């Protein structure tokens, strides 16, 4: 009998070809989908980095003595530039409020560390007050942190190393996207030493006491001028003499003495500096 050598081979060949084609088409489908996904991801990353590189937004830091009007200027600047305003002092005040309410002994590093684990701070924009307000564990504490009870202790709490590390970490995260104006005591020196614009605010002591007194008196008519003066001097002393990140003028900071300036005049000056820096960045 003649052996048909093709007979068994043909289905085998056919089978092999079929398997190869099925495998190839399945892999092609799979790999093309994967390829498409990876390309889309690359494209997104490139667009985002291009946007970041091309963004002309800068970081503006405003440091200075207590009650110099830092927050007023920072808020107005942020509004004009369409930036985010962050009141770093509010973070230290909110932490102090938590410590007071929960009887945390801040002399004990163990208690401080444990307490910080239970603190969540957040800024949420309030369209009614047109202000970013601070929330402590979900509660709006923007108003209560301005009380004298908190003001009397905040400098002590803000001098604690663990507290500063906790706050500074969060402040740096907030500045990642640039486009922020942050005020405080160590923003230009420690938090954002490479900020494009650093302003250091100062004003005559008597003027600062008077301004602070007026502000507090509106909320609490029982407050005395003497009390306000003592609190201001004490905070300035502790803030500038503490071991960790004391209040200092950054070398590259522009000094803004507003003793004889109206809020409009100081805003005009600061806006010019900011626009100059933004233009410099755009030209690079
Ligand atoms: O700006 P303020 O008065 O709300 O700040 C409250 C306190 O917090 C003040 O005594 C100094 C401290 N503070 C600080 O140590 N570092 C900052 N960046 C901001 C405030």
Cβ(184) to ligand 1 under 6 A?
Answer: yes
| Cα-to-centroid distance, 72 and ligand 1 (Å) | 15
- Contact by Cβ (8 Å): 256, 202: yes
Q: Tell me, yes or no, whether 106 lies in a domain.
A: yes
HSE-CB of 237 using CA atoms within 13 angstroms: 7
Q: What is the pLDDT of residue 65?
A: 94
**Nearest alpha carbon to residue 211 among 154, 135, 263, 159:** 263
Pocket test for ligand 1, best of 92, 152, 155, 203 (most atoms within 8 A of CB): 92
- Contact by Cβ (8 Å): 145, 100: no
For 211-247, write each residue's pLDDT tens digit. 999 988 888 888 899 999 999 999 999 999 999 999 9
Average pLDDT, the chain: 89
**Which residue segment(s) compose the domain that 211 sits in?**
64-275
Q: Tell me, yes or no, whether 227 lies in a domain.
A: yes
Q: Tell me, yes or no, whether 27 lies in a domain.
A: no
Q: Residue 255 pLDDT > 80, yes or no? A: yes
The rounded Cα 144 to chain-centroid distance in angstroms is 21
**Nearest alpha carbon to residue 78 among 274, 276, 284, 281:** 274
Atom of ligand 1 nearest to the CA of 66: 3
| Cα-to-centroid distance, 89 and ligand 1 (Å) | 4
Q: Residue 251 pLDDT > 70, yes or no? A: yes
Q: Residue 164 pLDDT > 70, yes or no? A: yes
Q: Tell me, yes or no, whether 29 lies in a domain.
A: no
Q: Cα–Cα distance between 214 and 210 in angstroms, integer?
A: 6
CATH code of 156's domain: 3.40.50.300
At 97, is the pLDDT very low, low, confident or very high (cuts 50, 70, 90)? very high
Q: Tell me, yes or no, whether 220 lies in a domain.
A: yes
Q: What percent of the chain has pLDDT over 70?
A: 85
Orientation of helix 109-117 relative to helix 161-174, angle to 10°: 30
Cβ(154) to ligand 1 under 6 A?
Answer: yes
Q: Residue 176 pLDDT > 70, yes or no? A: yes
Q: What is the pLDDT of residue 239?
A: 92
For 5-47, write each residue's pLDDT tens digit. 445 444 556 566 665 666 677 666 767 777 777 777 766 756 5
Pocket test for ligand 1, best of 131, 239, 241, 243 (most atoms within 8 A of CB): 239
Q: Tell me, yes or no, whether 44 lies in a domain.
A: no
Cβ(192) to ligand 1 under 6 A?
Answer: no
In the chain, the number of structural domains is 1
Q: Tell me, yes or no, whether 51 lies in a domain.
A: no
Q: Tell me, yes or no, whether 45 lies in a domain.
A: no
């Amino acid at each position: 009998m003649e052996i048909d050598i093709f007979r068994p081979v043909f289905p085998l060949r056919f089978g092999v070809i079929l398997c190869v084609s099925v495998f190839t088409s399945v892999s092609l489908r799979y790999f093309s989908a994967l390829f498409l996904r990876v390309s889309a991801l690359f494209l997104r990353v490139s667009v985002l980095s291009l946007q970041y590189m091309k963004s002309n937004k800068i970081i503006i830091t405003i440091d200075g003595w207590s009650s110099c009007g830092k927050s007023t200027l920072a808020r107005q600047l942020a509004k004009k530039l369409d930036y985010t305003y962050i009141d770093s002092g509010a973070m230290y005040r909110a932490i102090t409020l938590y410590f007071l309410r929960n009887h945390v002994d801040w002399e004990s590093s163990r208690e401080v560390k444990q307490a910080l684990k239970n603190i969540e701070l957040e800024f949420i924009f309030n369209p009614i007050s047109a202000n970013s307000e601070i929330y402590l564990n979900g509660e709006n504490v923007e108003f209560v942190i301005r009380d004298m009870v908190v003001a009397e202790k905040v400098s002590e709490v803000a001098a604690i190393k663990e507290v500063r590390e906790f706050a500074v970490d969060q402040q740096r995260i907030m500045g990642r996207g640039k486009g922020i104006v942050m005020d405080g005591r160590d923003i230009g020196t420690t938090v954002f030493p490479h900020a494009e614009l650093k302003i250091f605010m100062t004003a005559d002591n008597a003027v600062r006491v008077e301004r602070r007194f007026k502000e507090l008196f509106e909320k609490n008519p029982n407050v005395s001028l003497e009390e306000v003066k003592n609190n201001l001097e004490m905070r300035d002393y502790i803030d500038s003499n503490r071991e960790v990140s004391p209040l200092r003028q950054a070398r590259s900071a522009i000094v803004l003495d507003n003793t004889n300036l109206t809020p409009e005049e100081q805003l005009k000056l600061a806006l010019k500096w900011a626009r100059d820096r933004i233009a410099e960045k755009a030209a690079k």
